[in-house]
Copies of this chain bind each other. A is one copy, B any other.
Amino acid sequence: MFAVTATQTDPDNPLKGLTLGERPDPTVPDGWTTVTVKATALNHHDLWTLKGVGIRQDRLPIVLGCDASGLDENGNEVIVHSVIGTPVNGDETLDPRRSLLSEVHDGTFAEKVAVPKGNLVPKPAAISFEEAACLPTAWLTAYRMLFDKAGVQPGSTVLVQGAGGGVSTALIALGRAGGFRVWATSRSEEKRARALELGADQVFESGARLPERVDVVMESVGAATWDHSLSSLRPGGRIVTCGATSGMVAPTQLAQVFFLQRSIVGSTMGTRDQLARLAVFLEQTGVRPIIDRVLPLTRADEGFAAMHDGGIFGKIVFTV
């Protein structure tokens, strides 16, 4: 089958190890099944893999790609849940040894991908394969942060720090569609403008004083925004954090935490069931991921080059 593979890694020239061509069909372990891929989407994660981050050398060559939609063995339209793990307290994302597709097992940039049977989720007919392929990583992460970990009811005010990234974009779109008052911050005027287009009610420069304290802050920036996030919360409010692009060590003012009884909650990815609900949520509300361009998988190298050069807005989708 045709596939897009990482054959080597290079921190300085990630595209060097990007290889398009024939690969053997996937082997299918007990309890796994095969999906015929119809669409898949590019993530920064794929570029990181080509740089050698989050991948062991002895896994190479490995098929890239975390996201996919396609057909199961009976021809049903499905979305592929990318988390491979053993549930801990009923949640596969709590498995400290979990992986995403393309980290340990071959990924989704191929005509076929093997996945555990339990990792398939029905694709609503109203969602196209291209749209569905955008959901399993950033949008699933945002869904869990907003509708599970935040612990607030619709109509509450949510602050999204750092309006640029994939998760932040999904948070703004999902938050607005779900009936939250969404505020967003960014250092970039352009990104603030896009946040408003995506549905944010108000946007602010990073660190700006807000009109009032918020119920919950969505954090993926880390060190640079941490203090602002904590002090922006109402008494009893909560930070939900899924990443730290600006720095992993954040000095935390503990009195801000205990005296006003705030909380900080870590979140990563989401469960298979949450992916299923996310797809229905899109079907019901009409909100859709923004797609920058659609390319055939055979031209995946163009997509990688565009992401590497920057300046894209929305997802790069490959069709098979």
Contact = CB atoms under 8 A, between A and B. Distances in A.
Contacts of A22: none
B267 A264 contact: no
Interface stretch (A4-12, A34-42, A104-112, A277-285): A277-285
Interface stretch (A62-70, A93-101, A291-299, A310-318): A93-101
Contacts of A253: 248-249
Nearest to A287: B179
A289 interface: no
Contact of A236 (B89, B157, B264): B89
A317 B201 CA distance: 29
Max chain B CB contacts within 10 Å: which of A156, A257, A278?
A: A257
Query: Which among A87, A154, A181 has the highest number of chain B CB atoms within 10 Å?
Result: A154
B277 A266 contact: no
A182 B284 CA distance: 9
A277 B215 CA distance: 11
A280 B87 contact: no
B250 A154 contact: no
B266 A265 contact: no
Contact of A179 (B243, B261, B285): B285
Given A91-B236, A257-B266, A155 B280 contact: yes
Interface string A216-239: 000000110010000000011000
Contact of A241 (B95, B182, B242, B258): B258
Contacts of A265: 261, 263-264
Contacts of A258: 241-244, 266-268
Given A244-B258, A250-B252, A257-B241, A235 B95 contact: yes
Interface of A: 87-91, 93-96, 147-148, 153-157, 176-182, 201, 222-223, 226, 235-236, 241-244, 248-255, 257-268, 273-274, 276-281, 283-285
Given A90-B91, A157-B280, 18 more contacts: A87-B87, A87-B90, A147-B153, A155-B277, A156-B277, A156-B280, A178-B179, A242-B258, A244-B255, A244-B258, A248-B253, A249-B254, A251-B251, A258-B267, A261-B266, A261-B267, A261-B268, A263-B266
